[in-house]
Amino acid sequence: MRDDKTDLLSLGPVALRTVVGDFLREQKEPAYRADQLAKWVYGGEARNIPQMTDLPRGLRDALGERFVLIEPEIEQVSRSEDGTSKHLWRLVDGELVESVLIPTRDRLTLCISSQAGCAMGCTFCATGWSGFARHLSAGEIVAQYRASRRWAAAEGQRAISNIVYMGMGEPLSNPAAVMTSLTTLNQGYGVGARRITVSTVGVVPGILKLAQRPEQFRLAVSLHSPDSELRQKLIPLEKRHPLPELIEALRAFNAAGGKRITFEYTMIRDVNDDPALAARLAALAAGLQAFVNLIPFNPIPYRDWQPSTPQRIRSFQKVLQDRGVGTAIREPRGQDIDAACGQLRTRAMGEKALPVVDGDGRRRSD
């Protein structure tokens, strides 16, 4: 059974050395085998233990009794005309998660999932509507990078330069696995901490945990409104961790030094795009030296909301700029392949995932 075996990708780099080191001693194998194994794990070429071909066969068999290296299976790959590609991965228990590769002029960014589904229920988000299935393990998070890296290389694409936790799920609701995966991506695979961004809707305890880390991982906060009442309508978590508490946590994050905060602001027509909100957002952002990304809303099947018009987005941006706040308008990427958060999975799950919605857009439990 796979269940009682240790997943090599779920162990952090230090634990990998210790656990495998102990195992090698038990097996009376030389200690340098641990280096060989780590090379296979972080070099990323072996898809499983039998493929670690410079380890003696007997040792591979013994390792296979105790350990497993699990990569997800490719359920579907979609390619956008703009070069963006999206993987739908099938996990060992059949759950589906997505990751997206986004090439830009000088980068290749990988967007990864941290949960199958999401429990946060944000009203503008397809993943939120699809509900929560389960947390991903550290190994399942790391494996998206490992498998995508190999896939990109085979496609002749450049190396993955940046990783964002902006796929499905709320990473800071799954802190244990996410924290281990951050260490592995940084120390094991050598992706610079400043090239890794964790995106959260505002899970305060998780933000404080991330603040304590010595590495300079970046933090993106999905703000979407500087007004608590409006934010509650978009993000149910606002009730549990309201803006003043969130802002305080972000101050602590800044105070920890050398870290950078970005606000993500999804612009929904006539919902949160009033320039008066931009002025309040500017005050929040300026106080935290945060950069603001303005993202046109990507329509979802569950609400009839539309993206703000380009003109409206530009005037919103001007208010921010006039107040000295750094800001960018993020182009939607991969729209032809539903590359926005959660949409492909929802489609693949079919009608099952469609919730019943009543008049004011709230989900009913039946």
66 CA to centre of own chain: 30
* Residue 361: CB minimum distance to ligand SAH, A: 14
Structure tokens at 315: 């005037």
**H or E stretch covering 254:** helix 243-255
Output b/e per residue, 45-70; b: 16+ Cβ within 10 A.
ebbebeebeebeeebbebbeeebbbb
Residue 58 three-state SS = helix
Which residues in the 327-366 window bind ligand SAH by CB under 6 A? 340-341
Q: How far is CA 215 from the centre of its chain?
A: 18
Cα angle 266, 267, 271 (rounded to 5 degrees) comes to 115
75 is catalytic: no
When asked if residue 273 is in the footprint of ligand SAH (CB under 6 A), the reply is no
Residue 339 binds ligand SF4 (CB under 6 A): no
Sites for ligand SF4 among residues 48-107 (CB under 6 A): none
Among 84, 197, 200, 272, binds ligand SAH (CB under 6 A): 200
Decide whether 207 or 341 has the Cβ nearer to ligand SAH: 341
Q: Does 197 bind ligand SF4 (CB under 6 A)?
A: no
300 touches ligand SF4 by CB under 6 A = no
Out of 97, 125, 249, 294, point to the residue binding ligand SF4 (CB under 6 A): 125
222 contacts ligand SAH (rule: CB under 6 A): yes
Measured from the CB atom, the residue of 207 and 340 that comes closer to ligand SAH is 340
Nearest partner of 200 among 225, 224, 222, judged by Cα: 222
- Is the CB of residue 141 less than 8 Å from the CB of residue 97? no
Residue 128 is a binding residue for ligand SF4 (CB under 6 A): yes
Minimum gap (Å) between residue 127 Cβ and ligand SF4: 4
Interacting partner of 103 out of ligand SAH, ligand SF4, none (Cβ under 5 to 8 A depending on kind): none
C-alpha distance from residue 108 to each of 116, 146, 148 (Å): 24, 14, 11
197 binds ligand SAH (CB under 6 A): no
Query: Residues 111, 118, 122, 341: which is the catalytic one?
Result: 341
Residue 193 CB partners (closer than 8 Å, separation 6+): 182, 186, 215, 216, 217
Nearest distance from residue 223's CB to ligand SF4, in Å?
11
Determine, following the binding rule CB under 6 A, whether residue 341 of this chain makes contact with ligand SF4.
yes
Q: How far is the CB of 267 from ligand SAH (least distance, A)?
A: 8
Catalytic residue (one of 71, 98, 140, 170): 98
In angstroms, rounded to a whole number, what is the distance separating the alpha carbons of residues 211 and 81?
38
DSSP E strand stretches across the chain: 6-7, 67-68, 73-79, 85-90, 96-103, 108-111, 115-117, 132-135, 162-165, 196-200, 218-222, 261-267, 291-296, 327-329
**Is position 125 annotated as part of the catalytic site?**
no
Q: Which residue is nearest to ligand SF4 (CB)?
A: 128
Choose among ligand SF4, ligand SAH, none what residue 207 binds, the Cβ cut-off being 5 to 8 Å by kind: none
Which residue in the set 142, 278, 295, 319 belongs to the binding site for ligand SAH (CB under 6 A)?
295
Decide if residue 234 touches ligand SF4 (CB under 6 A): no
User: Closest CB to ligand SF4 among 121 and 188?
Assistant: 121
DSSP string across 138-154: HHHHHHHHHHHHHHHHH
What residues have CB less than 8 Å from 56, skipping those under 6 apart? none
Question: Residue 164 is encoded by which pair of tokens?
Answer: 């964002």
Give the footprint of ligand SAH on this chain (CB under 6 A): 124-125, 166, 170, 199-201, 222, 264, 266, 295, 297-298, 300, 340-341
